Amino acid sequence: MRTIALRLLAVFALVCGAPASAAPDDHAGALAALADVRAAVTEIVRIEDGYAVGHGPYLRAAHRAMNALVGRRDDGYAASFGDPGDGAGTLGHLDTMLDKEGSSLWTPAIEGAKANVLAAADNLQSAFGEKEMEDYQADLTRALANLALVVGRPSQDGVLGGISGALGNTTLGVPAGIPSVSGCALPARTPAYGIVAQRLVYVALPRRSAATTIPDELSVARVVVQGDDLILYTRASDSAMAVCRRTAHLQRTRAVAPAKAVPWYTAAQAHDGIAVYRKSCLQCHGADLQGTAGPAVAGTEFLTTAKTNKWTLSDLRTTVFQNMPFSNPGSLTPKQYADVTAFLLASNCYAAGTKPFPQSDSPAFAAIKLGPIPAANPSNPKLRTCTVK
């Protein structure tokens, strides 16, 4: 089980493609569309919960809800009943968003929302003509169900997420004037919105203002405190991390020869690495290197990942020396980094040699492919790791 608060998600400071953002007015449009839906819902709920007498008040409520949904440019708009919305209507706002050229990651969600607005408008249209109160109420209940789908859920993207899901998980959630940065790395300054492949990965806010500015639509999966800032990771962050990794590894090209052993570390050095690991790495990678808040760093899981991604010793070295500890990269001395890397190699059952792992990079490392070692004799057969003494 991975701890929520601790799971510092992304990633090596690698480029994940230029962050694309929604046109700022799309963000505002989505919020306005939501406000109109809520205005319509309020009208319906108020009349259903109230004790109005006679047909008139009910008809009026249904018309007002309709006005908020369709907007004054629609034939169904009846100005005489008044409009609890902003006049443009949910439909007007959604159409403006959809009318633009090209499609975005959020387009299907907004198209789905539009279909559900039309369904709700249809329900209201039926309500106008009902003679029996029960039929009228059944129509309104259907309209409410459809409007719930329009609002959707921040925890889901795609059609099921509705407008909230699109705001909470995609570039649509980025307000005008706030920089969006690559979600594969932590932001240099806050506030910032982290984006990967049009997904909203995180919202980074200064801690002091966070309480007042956390967007409603954000479905926060993890919170990380980073100095004076809060990084709120969305549910989209898991799939985004996979994209970051894939992109990162595509960028590292190599022609490598397989390696059975890594002769570049000594047993004494690996032993020194134990203390470094305990102090600076264990909290995220686990006492058995099995991974907790961060991924596994030894054994089958790690070596299989390494093989799949064609990691070389050079990649491992770069990750450790430059990106770890994740919470404070580059904070150890070159000797500590070399020792802890030796400790990782030994824990992965690579045989020790006579030369210590160097404190500076070696071109030879790019030719050493990492992956499961068939001949290894792990002391932990389940994880397939070797205990370092």
Tell me which residues touch ligand HEC (CB under 6 A): 8, 10-12, 245, 280-281, 283-285, 293-295, 297, 302, 305, 316, 319-320, 324-327, 340, 344
Q: Which residue has the tokens 């203002």?
A: 209
Shortest spacing between CB 27 and ligand HEC, in angstroms: 28
Rounded CA-CA distance 220/230 in Å is 12
Nearer to ligand HEC, 146 or 292 (CB): 292
Residue 102: burial class (beta carbons within 10 Å; 0-12, 13-18, 19+): exposed
Closest CA to 173 of 339, 332, 20, 327: 20
**Max Cα–Cα distance, the chain, nearest Å:** 94
Shortest spacing between CB 282 and ligand HEC, in angstroms: 8
User: Peptide bond preceding 381: is omega within 30 degrees of 0, i.e. cis?
Assistant: no
Rounded CA-CA distance 253/321 in Å is 20
Half-sphere exposure of 126 (CA within 13 A, CB side): 17
Shortest spacing between CB 7 and ligand HEC, in angstroms: 7
Shortest spacing between CB 215 and ligand HEC, in angstroms: 24
| 158 Rama sector, left if φ>0, alpha if ψ -120 to 50, beta otherwise | left
Nearer to ligand HEC, 31 or 236 (CB): 236
CA Rg value for the chain:
28
Nearer to ligand HEC, 152 or 325 (CB): 325
Half-sphere exposure of 166 (CA within 13 A, CB side): 31
Shortest spacing between CB 206 and ligand HEC, in angstroms: 21
Closest CA to 362 of 269, 265, 267: 265
Nearer to ligand HEC, 154 or 187 (CB): 187
Rounded CA-CA distance 314/253 in Å is 12
Nearer to ligand HEC, 39 or 313 (CB): 313
Token duo for residue 268: 């004494």
Nearer to ligand HEC, 163 or 281 (CB): 281
Rounded CA-CA distance 60/82 in Å is 9
8 Å CB contact between 323 and 297: no
Shortest spacing between CB 226 and ligand HEC, in angstroms: 10
Shortest spacing between CB 363 and ligand HEC, in angstroms: 20
Nearer to ligand HEC, 78 or 370 (CB): 370
Nearer to ligand HEC, 42 or 304 (CB): 304
Shortest spacing between CB 190 and ligand HEC, in angstroms: 19
Query: What Å distances lie between residue 198 and 186, 201, 243, 294, CA to CA?
Result: 17, 9, 11, 24
